[in-house]
Chain A
Amino acid sequence: MVQKLHDYLRESPSQTAGPYVHIGCTPNFTGIDIYGGDLGTSMKTGPVQGTEITIKGTVFDGMGAPLRDAMIEIWQPDAAGLFPSANETRGTPDPNFTGWGRSPGDMETGEFTFDTVKPGAVPYPDGRMQAPHITAWIVARGINIGLHTRIYFDDEQVANAADPVLSRIEHQNRVPTLLAKKEAAGLYRFDIHLQGPAETIFFDI
């Protein structure tokens, strides 16, 4: 016999966010006026450093239908690559940038919108630089455990080519599913496909 690892616990099992996740996480969006507003609606609390951008996108199911009951959260560093997090030890992040956004999507179309800044680069654990990217998390009815992905930018070809995560993708023809496409100055589109030929790459991190 050996000693037991009895101090260790198991992560709580995930369950779907269900059709009414917006009641809990963005109640004002559903018409429940409470808290003085929904969290994550604005990522800026004042003038921000760097390039301000807007990212729009839609989450599609395997039949190509848009999800109108999803919640999308994003998390990213500021323009200098610093996270507005208690565990950021590399410097002082932009005080007017929260780094975190939460969107319920449009009530009719499901399209989400984030007004943010172009993120700076952040190192990989081995010290190599990663290409600028935003971490995204998607929950909805029918999704048993939240889906993690990353939003990279299609106008960062050189950095993307050297990115440690993008370069470990076996099927390189799927890399474009992680690239936000520049549609105009300061405007990018990042659609998320849960299934199908254009299925977005999701991560187990």
Chain B
Amino acid sequence: MSLVNLPPKPGGFIPRDRTWQPDGLTPTYKTSVRRSPQAPLLSFPSTLSEETSPVFGHHLIGPLDNDLILNYAQPGQSAIGPRIIVHGRVLDELGRGVAGALVEFWQANAGGRYRHKKESYQAALDPNFGGCGRTITGADGSYEFRTIQPGPYPWPNGMNDWRPAHIHFSLFGHGFAQRLITQMYFEGDPLIKRCPIVGVLKSQEAVDALTAPLDMHQSVPMDCLAYKFDMVLRGQRQTYFENRKEGL
């Protein structure tokens, strides 16, 4: 065992704060009742199986993958709706940018309608809007994409439940333990506080963490408004000490 002059190595992931994250069973979101585990989760320290993950290279991303206004549109046409830029950084719990993270996003169109066989809302499809995009974060964890502001939509839960306007995000960092899916809401939306899915969050601070402010600094005059949305993945301890017993 040596304690001298070792470079830092990634250690285990910081345990997930289950007092902050939503519980599985949240009866006001009815579908969770039959889809939430009833036994306690089994805890163990992260191993290589959770501390590694696939590598997604920038070559994966096509030029329009982060432009939902154009990536499904006919040539010369574009999606209908308020044009917005969504941008921000993917950080870890230690405040460091997560470079090379795969960020995938999907959303309803400006009328609140998804392009999906099982979608039953009567709002019209937009022939020029597919509703999905993806990008990979830069060296500082930054990302951006262009889209239209999605509309709110009704969903079967309570008698008259409506989702606030939102964009779904899937995040893939550097370890499978960091895998996360979440949603972004828009500042000022009166439906946020009425939504049973937002309602699974345990504090106003958690709701605020998923609510993107309007960002006039990045808004493009006569073209696009902007919203800034940072996301945080689990952090990984750095260890300077090789104090594990190896080879037992």
Contacts and interface: CB of A to CB of B under 8 A. Distances in A.
B43 A203 contact: yes
Nearest to B167: A24
A32 B130 contact: yes
| A interface majority secondary structure | loop
B62 A35 contact: yes
Task: Place the interface of chain A in its size category.
Answer: 35 or more
B182 A14 contact: yes
Interface stretch (B9-17, B77-85, B186-194, B214-222): B9-17
The interface centre, meaning the residue of B18, B48, B50 with most chain A CB atoms within 10 A of its CB, is: B48
A135 B49 contact: yes
A140 B34 CA distance: 12
B179 interface: yes
Interface in A184-205: 194-195, 199-205
Interface of A: 7-25, 27, 30-32, 34-36, 39, 61-63, 65, 67, 69, 73, 75-77, 83-88, 98-100, 122-128, 130, 133, 135, 137, 139-148, 150, 164-165, 168-169, 174, 194-195, 199-205
Nearest to A140: B35
A135 B176 contact: yes
A12 B210 contact: yes
Contact of B93 (A9, A24, A205): A9
Interface residues of B, number: 91
| B interface majority secondary structure | loop
B248 A11 contact: no
B59 to A, nearest CB: 12
7 contacts: A7-B94, A8-B235, A14-B180, A87-B51, A168-B42, A195-B36, A201-B42
A205 B132 contact: no
A11 B240 CA distance: 24
B16 A11 contact: yes
A150 B231 CA distance: 27
Nearest to A86: B55
Given A13-B22, A13-B210, A125-B244, 10 more contacts: A8-B94, A8-B235, A12-B171, A13-B21, A20-B116, A23-B106, A83-B52, A87-B52, A144-B200, A165-B47
Contacts of A137: 176, 179
The interface centre, meaning the residue of A20, A39, A140 with most chain B CB atoms within 10 A of its CB, is: A20
